[in-house]
Chain A
Amino acid sequence: MKVDKEVSVKNINSFYFALREEVENNNQVVLDFSDSVRIDSSAAQTILAAVRKVKDLDKTIRFVGVSPELLKLLKLAGIKIQ
């Protein structure tokens, strides 16, 4: 799943439903951040909830194309990148 350039509360609903669908329909969820420059708290908490859900469902989630800036942000948001 390709993450938008910027995910914030303005477009969080579309990101949320897309990610839900992704979690429901795939055993391995891949979030591609190669176009993404910034996410906000609403996106971060959605990803955190998705990570937990994926674990509960015995599925996996991977993050790809994360820029160093975004990596710093994801880490601050408590999202662990393997």
Chain B
Amino acid sequence: MGDMGLTEVFLNESKEIIGNLEMDIVTLEDNRENQEIINRIFRYFHTLKGSSGIAGFNIIYEFTHNLESLFDKVRSGDIKVSRDIIDILLDSIDWIKGELFSESEIEDSGKIQAELTERINECMGFELKAKDEQTDFLSAVGAYSGVGSSERYFKVIAVFKEDIFTNGIDPLMVIEDLSNLGEVMISNVDQKRIPDLYKMDPEKCYMSWEIILKTSYDEMKLRDAFLFVMDDNNIEIENVTDKYDEVKVHGSLTEKKLGEILIEMGIISDSDLEEIVKLQSNQNFKIGDIIVQKGLASPKQVDEALQEQDKIKKKLEISTVRVDSAKLDNLMNLLGEIVIGQASLHRVSDDMDEDKAFRLKNSLYGLDRVTREFQEQIMSIRMVPIAPTFDQFKRFVRDTAHSLGKEIKLKVEGGDTELDKTVIEKIGDPLKHMIRNAIGHGIEVASERKAKGKPEAGTVTLKAYHQEGNVFIDVIDDGKGINLAAVKKKGVNLGLITEDETSKEKILALIFSPGFSTSDQVGDLSGRGVGMDVVKTNAEELRGSVEVKSKEGEGTLIRIKLPLTLAIIEGMLVKVGTSVLIIPLLSVIETIQVKKDDYRTVEGKGEVILVRGEYISLIRLNVLFGLEAGITNPWEALIVIVESNGERIGIMIDDLIGQQQIVIKSIDNFITTSRSISGATILGDGRVALIIDIHGLVQEIKNI
């Protein structure tokens, strides 16, 4: 095995490659002819093979070599994608994962590997025969060859460091990987760098190449071949298509127009495009619409081309640097300290004479602005799209559905929605719970669906979107919905509600109750409720909430609401007695003073105030948290109206201190188990202030 640094790099990269492979393989099952996915899978196996060889994982090298060979046949059209192949690929991925990442020895690993290799070999042999039988006239005369190709030429200069062998890297293998991406038109090894035979040190590297490669891949793919050597060696890749390609090139190769992509995909011709462009200039319609309108391509094909265009754009625009996420966390913590320091300086300015205080506050104002911008920048770095999290469920949905004999499609919407990486890391498990429930108990078997007039294949939709400073994630299934009567019955039996309860929301919310989900309820309650309390707890740990909507016979929607970030919030500092507390600004609707007449005590509801014709509960924080009381009469105090899940309450405070960025520090359960507290912060004067969790507070007062 290679040295530790190399192994670590390899394992990290492999994890990413395997994740991508899983997603693409599952996607391929529904898009069996998609050449782009097929090429990508081939490339992943190829990269995995190459890097495992470099890192000294010889068993993986040999195994992935077989997979690469299998997929090469798929790529060349010798083997057609089938359910068997998908199964083999996924089983192989599982075995590789076990070999690379399992902490303990995998039982029968060698046997499993041998069986998989046999299946791969069988598949190659059998399918080849089948293909021979299927070959039609058009294929035989090469009618399909070249369709969708877009050749480019790249000049690659690779000069390797003398000590590269000590890292276990063989530059020739890297160049071999590169050559497999296309056709090497010109290859020159600079022999001037190689010393005289008698003077050379064979353990030092003197190899360097200048290569012209003809390939259909983009520059990013070529860079992948140099993954492990790019940083320390002189690697230059230049697109020289203009110099080598005699074929007419439409505009810049770096950015493609929709029409060009459709031509490359073999969907429209050059003359079609010319005609469409003329029409576009006359009609002022979008080119995609005209193409669809004229019946030259289906909306799906145009969508695919648009996606491809977007991908190219993104690949060209993105210039990324890989950063250890711990460094980002540290950066955020340090920024937190700066925010606390600033608050402290604000505090100091209060004790200064007016002139000096003005000057300090003026300077701090500028600093505040920069800090805020700084925070936004760090936040944007920490924000990652949810698409990879969603995509990882494709495999899960496929496997779970197959094991239950159901046909279920996973639909993903809003994959570009970005969330704080901490939130993303913690949301995976709750989502899995919800998807499992939707598959296992929500969506009916095909025969049942057919009988109800539904499509035989069920759909689970994962949808993410931003709204009002929060991120919403919906898990929607088009299954049988939740049996409200059964939930109510169970709730009554468990003593969670009374027979009189009529609120649909309240009854449905029971599925999130701890202990509500026991195995005997699965049948009774259409299976809903299994582990849903875990979903709720996890969402709340992320300062989020969860709600459910369901219609019997039509489906269920479970919505998780999450904050954009977990690290810093905008908070309102309020005074209660001698204590300072923080109310998250996002939950604040308004701050009011009530008249004495608008204050009542209602039996069973406690203290209420009349706000715009509606009575809302009044909360005294000193009573709730056992603090020293300040103002005791509500009509003399200030009332902060807050909202959670559409429910409003009034919080009685003595005074408003101000508004500032709050760095959230978590507090342990032994300090408080109250759900009304989400954390604490350090104020400018060094005091600790508790942060009120409005959602938890509303829930807690409901239970009092």
Contact = CB atoms under 8 A, between A and B. Distances in A.
Contacts of B367: none
A8 B160 CA distance: 16
A2 interface: no
A12 interface: yes
B170 A78 contact: no
Nearest to A24: B198
Interface stretch (B81-89, B187-195, B512-520, B575-583): B187-195
Most B CB atoms within 10 A — which of A8, A49, A52, A53? Answer: A49
Nearest to B168: A9
Interface stretch (B70-78, B102-110, B200-208, B292-300): B200-208
B165 A42 contact: yes
B188 A78 contact: yes
B624 interface: no
Interface in A6-55: 8-9, 12-13, 15-16, 19-20, 23, 39-42, 44-46, 48-50, 52-53
B200 A45 contact: yes
B171 interface: yes
B200 A41 contact: no
Given A9-B165, A13-B203, 17 more contacts: A13-B202, A16-B200, A16-B202, A41-B207, A42-B202, A42-B205, A46-B200, A46-B202, A48-B194, A49-B197, A52-B196, A53-B196, A73-B176, A76-B184, A78-B187, A78-B188, A78-B209
Contacts of B194: 45, 48-49, 52
Contacts of A50: 197
Given A49-B194, A78-B191, A8 B170 contact: yes
Nearest to B207: A41
Contacts of B203: 9, 12-13, 42
Contact of B207 (A20, A45, A73): A45
A76 B195 contact: no
19 contacts: A12-B203, A16-B200, A16-B202, A41-B171, A42-B170, A42-B203, A42-B205, A44-B172, A45-B200, A46-B202, A48-B194, A49-B197, A49-B200, A52-B191, A53-B197, A76-B175, A76-B184, A76-B187, A77-B172
B173 interface: yes
Contacts of B195: 49
Most A CB atoms within 10 A — which of B172, B175, B191? Answer: B172
B179 interface: yes
Nearest to A42: B202
Contacts of A42: 165, 170, 202-203, 205
A39 B172 CA distance: 9
A46 B189 CA distance: 13
Nearest to A54: B197
B197 to A, nearest CB: 4
Interface residues of A, number: 26
Interface of B: 160, 165, 170-173, 175-176, 179, 184, 187-189, 191, 194-198, 200, 202-203, 205-207, 209
A75 interface: yes
A41 to B, nearest CB: 4
A41 B197 contact: no
A75 B187 CA distance: 9
B198 A53 contact: yes
Contacts of B176: 73, 76
B401 to A, nearest CB: 42
A45 B205 CA distance: 8
B196 A45 contact: no
Nearest to B171: A41
Contact of A20 (B171, B187, B198): B198
Contacts of A78: 187-189, 191, 209
A44 B207 contact: yes
Contacts of B173: 40-41
A12 B202 contact: yes
A46 B198 CA distance: 10
Contacts of A13: 202-203
Interface string A45-82: 11011101100000000000000000001011110000
A39 B188 CA distance: 18
Given A78-B189, A78-B191, A23 B197 contact: yes
A52 B206 CA distance: 15
Contacts of B200: 16, 45-46, 49
Contacts of B196: 49, 52-53
A40 B173 CA distance: 7
A48 B189 contact: yes
B170 A40 contact: yes
Given A13-B203, A45-B205, A76 B172 contact: yes
A50 B196 CA distance: 8
A20 to B, nearest CB: 6
A44 B200 CA distance: 13
Nearest to A79: B189
Contacts of B170: 8-9, 40-42
Given A49-B197, A50-B197, A40 B172 contact: yes
Contacts of A19: 197
Of all A-B residue pairs in the complex, the 10 with the closest CB atoms, nearest first, are A78-B189, A53-B197, A49-B197, A16-B202, A41-B172, A40-B170, A9-B165, A12-B202, A41-B171, A41-B207
Contact of A73 (B165, B172, B202): B172
A46 B327 CA distance: 44
A10 B138 CA distance: 51
Contacts of B191: 48, 52, 78
Nearest to B178: A76
Most B CB atoms within 10 A — which of A39, A53, A76? Answer: A76
B482 to A, nearest CB: 61
A45 B203 CA distance: 10
A73 B189 CA distance: 13
B202 A45 contact: yes
A77 B189 contact: yes
A75 B175 CA distance: 11
Contacts of B207: 41, 44-45, 77
A75 B550 CA distance: 66
